[in-house]
Structure 1
């Protein structure tokens, strides 16, 4: 009798929209959120370069809109538990986060050391330490709120999870990377014109693929957040923050920023037991009470 009751409960539950519909809705919503952020930035800070003030506003707008959007999609489109996305609590997530940070940081630090040792590049402080340390700390927080958490939650969380129910993990990695490249390139083309497409499309495609592989290896979105956070914080500190002065920036970018994308996934594999379930499709079970938590 209990089994019959459970079957009738499941059959009475509203059917979910098709996978392609759910993916299209979330990708379109993400595109709209980042566009809204751009419109607000242009309205509030017309003609200005990126400053701390508009960086803070942009980060808050994206975070406040993107995280609830994924929550709503998970609850009302997927009808599945939030925990199924692979974004665990802090107690379970701190170790994958550190693995992801190390997956970028260890190869990146080794490449920087080589550049400095052979004289290809040099790095010096361009501001007093009393400004440099708090400035980089604030930059890291803004990267976390503006880019790392929202983008990883959408692409390596929601989209990868849904794709992996219908295809093996390796194919889900490629599919979400293509969506990530389309998303990122579209934003840049809309703001800067078609001239940036040849540069941005392969960049986003490679980044999405590597982050997707980190997701499979660790089984946790926090690892992707850690990788993304370290990458963007270092890149923005070196290239645009004004806190450091770099000689030979092209050599540094060609080595320090390339090495983690070549050796990041092997580093994550060394730090994580198991090699990930690359050929497996992962079902997305319903919460015991029938509604997402």
Structure 2
């Protein structure tokens, strides 16, 4: 730990007055868990019915967003004492291409896997509502996913936590470490809310998702790529599995082929579209000054 702080002092040129990296990582992870637990309590209080309604989805999304984003801002300002730009969340114009690359990293292999299932007769996907209702419904769902899941979760795990970890360890190890924290966070929430029966399934899901999204963050150096991947994944999954907008026959085939393909080919797709493989052994310093601050 002393070696880590020595490296930070040498990089910044001054003695950083901030807690050790392990303390910062634990505080933000626990803070994120508390945000989602609070959201669950508010949801149970305001919407006691078990099914998810549009109203409950909107309230949950807004509550998580208005708590999670300030959590990261405060941690970056008062714990890290570093510029916000170091998290890799560039402006909209600069982030447009990475966002599309991340979205394509899920959409291309995902669409190919789903198309294969349909072509082989393993599954079928048909609209359950008119297109005039389907399209606005999916767009609204995507907006909620962006606010509720894609931006807050990526900002915390592939933004704040990955950035701090990558300043202290090689990039490949930072990817694994933040994925483990993401798995602990997501699985812990599901176990608290649904019991131990979901442990194995959710642990594998969140760990795999964390590794892939961490790899995308490493390769692109831009958080918008992770947001794009996360947004498309959750929008497609929720549209097909729980929205009522489409009818899916052969869900198991869709899950094991269409939804698995992006987790296998997502990072290679990002490498192909970005024309880079990333530097997996690099430890990226986190300097105080904005000038030259790596993303």
Query: Which bin holds the TM-score, normalised by the shorter protein?
Result: over 0.9
Instruction: Name whichever of 163-172 and 271-280 sits farther off.
Output: 271-280
**Contact 2:83/2:290 (8 A) holds in 1:** no
Match of 1:138 among 137, 140, 144: 140
**1:49-60 superposed matches below 5 A:** 49-60=51-62
Secondary structure of the residue aligned to 2:126 is strand
Report the TM-score when normalising by structure 2.
0.93
Q: Does 1:106 align with 2:98?
A: no
What does residue 4 of structure 1 align with? none
- Closer, same or farther: CA 288–197 of 1 in aligned 2, 3 Å: closer
What does residue 32 of structure 1 align with? 34
What does residue 48 of structure 1 align with? 50
Report the TM-score when normalising by structure 1.
0.93
Between the aligned partners of 2:167 and 2:126, the Cα distance in structure 1 is 48
Between the aligned partners of 2:269 and 2:278, the Cα distance in structure 1 is 13
What does residue 177 of structure 1 align with? 179
Between the aligned partners of 2:48 and 2:290, the Cα distance in structure 1 is 51
* CA deviation string 1:105-153 (max 9, x = no partner): 0000111111111111111110111211111100000000000000000
Match of 2:168 among 166, 169, 179: 166
- Closer, same or farther: CA 241–33 of 1 in aligned 2, 3 Å: same
**Contact 2:109/2:258 (8 A) holds in 1:** yes
Between the aligned partners of 1:117 and 1:288, the Cα distance in structure 2 is 52
Between the aligned partners of 2:208 and 2:16, the Cα distance in structure 1 is 38
What does residue 267 of structure 1 align with? 269
Between the aligned partners of 2:64 and 2:139, the Cα distance in structure 1 is 20
**Contact 2:85/2:290 (8 A) holds in 1:** no
Shift of 1:273: 2.6
Between the aligned partners of 2:187 and 2:214, the Cα distance in structure 1 is 18
What does residue 281 of structure 2 align with? 279
Shift of 1:287: 2.1
Secondary structure of the residue aligned to 2:263 is helix
Match of 2:198 among 196, 199, 207: 196
Secondary structure of the residue aligned to 1:165 is helix
Secondary structure of the residue aligned to 1:87 is coil
- Closer, same or farther: CA 70–130 of 1 in aligned 2, 3 Å: same
Cα RMSD (Å): 1.5
Q: Does 1:15 align with 2:29?
A: no
* CA deviation string 1:33-86 (max 9, x = no partner): 000100000000013311111000000000000001100100000000100001
Match of 1:236 among 235, 238, 256: 238
Structure of higher CA gyration radius: 1
Between the aligned partners of 1:92 and 1:288, the Cα distance in structure 2 is 17
Between the aligned partners of 1:15 and 1:252, the Cα distance in structure 2 is 51
Between the aligned partners of 2:277 and 2:119, the Cα distance in structure 1 is 34
